[in-house]
Amino acid sequence: MLEIKNLQARIDEKQILKGINLSVKSGEVHAIMGPNGSGKSTLASVLAGREGYDITDGEVLLQGNDILEMSPEERAREGVFLAFQYPVEIPGVNSTYFLRSAVNQIRKHRGDEELDAMKFLKLVKTKMKELGLAEEFLKRPVNAGFSGGEKKRNEILQMTMLDPSLAVLDETDSGLDIDALRIVADGVNRLKNQNNAQIVITHYQRLLDYIVPDFVHVLYDGCIIKSGDKTLAHDLEEKGYDWLIKDS
Amino acid sequence: MSSTTVINLAEEPANAFAEIKRRGTALLPLRQDGLARFQESGFPTTNDEDWRFTSLKPFTEMPFETMFEPTIQTIGQSVINGIAFSQHDTDRLVFVDGHLSSELSQISNQSEGVIVSNLASALTTIEDKIGALSGKDQNPLIALNDAFFTDGAWIHIPANQALSKPVHLVFLYTAIKDGQASHIRNLIIAEANAKGTILESHISLGQAAASTNVVTETQLGDGSNLEHIKLQDQSSLAIHLASLHSKLGSDARYAFHSFALGAQLSRNNLRMDLAKPGIECMLNGLYMTRGRQLADHHMIVNHAAPYCNSHEYFNGILDDQSRGVFHGRILVEPEAQKTDAKQTNKNLILSDEATVNTKPQLEIYADDVKCTHGATIGELDNDAIFYLRARGLDSQTARRMLMHGFTGEIVERIQHNTIRDELNELVWGRLENEYHLN
Ligand SMILES: Nc1ncnc2c1ncn2[C@@H]1O[C@H](COP(=O)(O)OP(=O)(O)OP(=O)(O)O)[C@@H](O)[C@H]1O
Ligand SMILES: [Mg+2]
C-alpha cells in the first residue's frame, strides 16, 4: 500500500524529517507516537502534499506510484486522506456544497457515477447520524465556529464520505470527550477493510484501545527510533519516551 | 431644464435661490439653510480627515447639471423586469434621475396605515421630519442635498404593523450625458414594534458620467425590526454619494446591508445613533471594484446607551488598479456600559496594483464593554486552499470556492431567504465574468 523510503524533508533550511522508513500493507493499522515537535504532523503534511517543504531525499510510493510528484488533489483522488490536527475554518463556504464537490470529484476520478443532491444528502445524513453530528452542521460553513471536538468529528465524516485507501489521522483524538472518542474510533473501524490502511498519529494509548494497531512506531527528531506491536504503546504510556531517547 | 451646474448654483446665490424657489415653497427654510451651509463649506477635499483617501474631484471638476426636471426619455417595463429583485413579490417605487415614475411604480394594498409613497407628494405633512437626523451632520454633501433634492421615498410603518411585502426602491439613472446630477432624499420611519424589509437599488441605464447624491434617514421606534438591503450597481463612470442616518429606539433591530458593486466613485457615509438600550445594529457590506473604481464606506456608530450590540462586517474584493476605503469608527460613550461592538474589514486583493485604506477605530469611554476590531488585506488563505485540495478539489476550484465563501460570508447575513439567494448568484456571476479569479 504505502512505502516510505529514507524520506527527508526540510522547511526554511530546517531539517525536520531525517530519513523515515515505513512500510504499510493493505489491511494494516499503524500508530505513530512521539514527543511534541518530533515531526509527526510534518510527515502527515508531506504525505498529503502540502507546499513549502523541501524534499531533500527519499521516496514515497502509494500502490507502487511515486506520489511526491503529485499535487495534493491528485493524491487525494488516488486515495490519500489526511485528517488534520488543526482543521481549517472556512467561513462562507457551505459544508454541504464543499463535501458534495469533494465526494463527486473523487468519484469521478474513480469512474463512479457522481451523486446528485438527493443521493448525497441521504448518504451524508446516515453517516452523520453514526458520528453523532447534528444535521444542522450541513447548513453551516465548513468548520466555522465548530468546537474542537466537532471539527474532529467533521474530519471523520469527510473521511467516511471519501472512502480513502490510505487515511492519515493526525491527533484526531485530541480534544475529544470519552464518548466522542469511541464514536470516532467506531467510524475508523467501520472504514477499515482488507484494501485500505490507516496511519494513526496520537499521544495517547487510550485511542489504541479502540483502534487497535498492528504496529506502533516512535518518531523522534525526524526519525523512527523504535517500532513494535501494540504493547509498545503501553510501555510508552508507563515509561514515557526518555528510555528510548537515551538509547537512540 | 436648467443648464446651471451644481457648483455654479452654489457659487451664485442669486441663481441658486431662484432655482430653489422654483421648486416650490415647501421646505424653503431647509433648502436655503442647506445652500447657505454649502456656500460656507464648499466641497470637502482630501485635507479633510473624513475624505483623506477619497477625492471628490471626479464629481467637482465636471460641469454637473442638476436634474431638476424629469427626463422625457421613456423607460419600458422591460427595463424593470431586467433588474435585480424584480422577480420577487415586492412593492416598487421607481425613480428616474430623482423623479418618481408612476408608470413604473407599483404599490399594493399594504397593511392598515402603512405609507409607501414618494416624498415630494407628502412634503407638507412631513416637512418637520426631513433633516431631523441628518441635520447635525457637517458633511457638505448633505447641505447640497438639503438645497437641491428633488424626490425620493417616504415610508411610514405605524406601530405594531409590518410591511406585507418588501418595498423595493429603484433608482434609475439615465446617464445619457456626462454631468447629470441627481439629488435624492429618502425618509423611512418605523414606529414601535413595526417590521419590514426594504430593498434599495441604484442602477445606471446609460454609460455617461452621471452622479447621484442620496440622503436617507431611517428612524426606528422601540422594538421595531427593519432589514434594509442596498444594491449599488452602476456603470464604471457613475458617481454615487450616499449618506445614511439612523436613529434607533430601545430594543430596535436594524440590519443594513450594503452591496457596492461598481461605480467610478462610490461613497457611503453611515451614521448610526444608538441612544436607547437594547439595540441591535448590524452594518454588513461587500464591495467589489475593478478598473479604476473606488468604493468607500465611512461609518460612525455612536453607542450612547447601555446594552446595545453593533456589528460591522465589511469584505472587499479589489482587482486591477481599483481602490477600497474603509473607515469604521465606534464611539462608546461613558453611559454605554455592556456595549458589545464588533468590527471587521477583510480585503481580498486580486491584483498587485489594487490598494486598500482601512481604518478601524475604537473610541471607548465606558469600562464594562466588549469591543473588537480587525482588518486584513491580502490574498486567499493558503491553509484553506491546501485543506480543500487535500479533499480532491483542484486549486482553481479551491480558490473559487474560497472566493465564493468570502462573498458568501456577507451575503449569508441577509435574513430574507430568496433575496439572499438572488444576491448570492448576482455577486458570484459578476466575479466569474468580470474579475481575474485565477
Ligand atoms: N513552517 C515551519 N517553519 C519552521 N519550523 C517548522 C515549521 N513547521 C514545523 N516546524 C518545526 O518542525 C518541527 C516538527 O513539527 P511537527 O508539527 O511536525 O511536530 P509534531 O510531531 O506533529 O508535534 P505535536 O505533537 O506537537 O503535534 C517542530 O520543531 C516545528 O517547530
Ligand atoms: Mg502534530
pLDDT digit string (tens) for B132-176? 999 989 999 999 999 999 999 999 999 999 999 999 999 999 999
The atom number, within ligand 1, closest to the CA of A35 reads 25
Q: Per-residue pLDDT for B72 more than 80?
A: no
pLDDT digit string (tens) for A136-149? 999 999 999 999 98
B211 with B94, same domain? yes
Domain that residue B406 falls in? 382-438
pLDDT digit string (tens) for B302-340? 999 999 999 999 999 999 999 999 999 999 999 999 999
A244 pLDDT band, cuts 50/70/90, is: confident
pLDDT digit string (tens) for B176-185? 999 999 999 9
Q: Per-residue pLDDT for A132 more than 90?
A: no
B269 with B403, same domain? no
Q: Which residues pair with B355 in a beta bridge?
A: B323
Q: How far is A237 from chain B (nearest CA, A)?
A: 32
Which residues in B lie closer than 8 A to residue A105 (C-beta atoms)? 391-394, 397
Average pLDDT, chain B: 93
Report yes or no: A60 and A7 within 8 Å, Cβ to Cβ.
yes
Residue B136 lies in a domain: yes
**Total structural domains in chain B?**
2
Residue B281 lies in a domain: no
Q: Is B315 helix (H, G, I), strand (E, B) or coil?
A: strand
Which residues in A lie closer than 8 A to residue B399 (C-beta atoms)? none
Of A87, A88, A93, the CB nearest to B404: A93
In chain B, the percentage of residues whose pLDDT exceeds 70 is 97
Q: Is B72 helix (H, G, I), strand (E, B) or coil?
A: coil
- Find the mean pLDDT for residues A125-137: 90
Q: Per-residue pLDDT for B3 more than 60?
A: no
Angle at B78 between CA B74 and CA B84, to 5 degrees: 115
Residue B68 lies in a domain: yes
pLDDT at B19: 77
Task: Give the separation between CA B143 and CA A119, rounded to whole angstroms.
Answer: 60
Output the ligand 1 site: residues, CB below 6 A.
A 11-12, 14, 16, 34, 36-42, 85
A79: left (phi over 0), alpha (psi -120 to 50) or beta: left
- Write down which residue in B227, B248, B276 finishes a domain: B276
Residue B150 lies in a domain: yes
- Write down which residue in B276, B292, B309 finishes a domain: B276
- Write down which residue in B256, B276, B296 finishes a domain: B276
B272 with B392, same domain? no
Q: Per-residue pLDDT for A49 more than 70?
A: yes
pLDDT at B1: 37
pLDDT digit string (tens) for B110-130? 888 999 999 999 998 998 999
B191 pLDDT band, cuts 50/70/90, is: very high
Q: Per-residue pLDDT for B27 more than 60?
A: yes
Ligand 2 centroid distance, CA of A95 (Å): 25
B2 pLDDT band, cuts 50/70/90, is: very low
Report yes or no: B266 and B232 within 8 Å, Cβ to Cβ.
yes
Can you give the pTM of this predicted structure? Answer: 0.88
Residue B232 lies in a domain: yes
Residue B393 lies in a domain: yes
CB-based contact B394 A158, cutoff 8 Å: no
Whole-angstrom CA distances from B185 to B59, B152, B297, B359, B398 are 19, 5, 19, 28, 44
Residue B226 lies in a domain: yes
pLDDT at A243: 85
B68 pLDDT band, cuts 50/70/90, is: confident
Q: Is A227 helix (H, G, I), strand (E, B) or coil?
A: strand
Ligand 1 centroid distance, CA of A17 (Å): 10
Q: Is B165 helix (H, G, I), strand (E, B) or coil?
A: coil
Residue B362 lies in a domain: no
Ligand 1 centroid distance, CA of A40 (Å): 8
Domains of chain A: 2-93+143-247 (3.40.50.300)
Q: Which three cell numbers stand for residue B438?
A: 485565477
- Find the mean pLDDT for residues B251-265: 97
